[in-house]
């Protein structure tokens, strides 16, 4: 489903690494259930929205239903649909700061929910 999303995952990891000192909640993938499960810190890799769906960065940014409002607000601001094909433009384009702010907001929510 997310083939080709590697650029975003790599970008996210770079951003998270660069923001560690400013934003302790952004520690790579540490707050996502899939990552926590991999290191035996959580029973299941599943997201709370669907037991059959792993919680990882692309799911949280693109699909997680509780972030629909924030996602739609960003889409209206940028006049772009937030989907896998538009991520490269968002990551490297003129609006990367707004996209980064969205990423930080939603990742903080996930990290808080997962006790990170
Ligand atoms: Zn979910």
**In the chain, what are the domain boundaries?**
6-113
**Residue 54 alpha carbon to ligand 1 centre in Å:** 7
Question: Is 58 in contact with 8 (CB distance < 8 Å)?
Answer: yes
Q: Is the pLDDT of residue 27 over 50?
A: no
Position 52 scores a pLDDT of 94
**Residue 66 alpha carbon to ligand 1 centre in Å:** 8
Q: How far apart are alpha carbons 52 and 39 in whole angstroms?
A: 19
**Residue 53 alpha carbon to ligand 1 centre in Å:** 6
Q: Is the pLDDT of residue 74 over 60?
A: yes
Q: Read off the pLDDT of residues 28-70 as tens digits, 9 standing for 90 and up.
A: 456 889 888 988 999 999 999 999 999 988 888 899 999 999 9
Structure confidence at residue 72 as a pLDDT band (50, 70, 90) = very high
- How does DSSP classify residue 115? T
Question: Is 42 in contact with 36 (CB distance < 8 Å)?
Answer: yes
**Residue 1 alpha carbon to ligand 1 centre in Å:** 14
Q: Read off the pLDDT of residues 80-116 as tens digits, 9 standing for 90 and up.
A: 999 888 887 887 788 888 988 898 888 888 888 998 7
**Residue 33 alpha carbon to ligand 1 centre in Å:** 10
Structure confidence at residue 75 as a pLDDT band (50, 70, 90) = very high
Q: Which of 106, 105, 77 is nearest to 93 (CA)?
A: 77
pTM of this structure: 0.76
Position 5 scores a pLDDT of 61
Neighbours of 41 (CB within 10 A): 13
């Amino acid at each position: 489903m997310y083939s080709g999303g590697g650029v975003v995952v790599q970008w996210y990891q770079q951003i998270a690494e660069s923001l560690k000192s400013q934003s302790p909640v952004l520690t790579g993938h540490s707050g996502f259930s899939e990552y926590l499960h991999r290191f035996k810190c959580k029973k299941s890799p599943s997201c709370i929205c669907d037991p059959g769906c792993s919680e990882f960065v692309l799911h949280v940014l693109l699909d997680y239903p509780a972030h629909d409002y924030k996602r739609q607000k960003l889409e209206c601001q940028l006049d772009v649909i937030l989907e896998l094909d538009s991520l490269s433009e968002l990551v490297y384009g003129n609006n990367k700061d707004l996209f980064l702010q969205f990423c930080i907001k939603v990742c903080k929510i996930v990290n808080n929910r997962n006790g990170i």
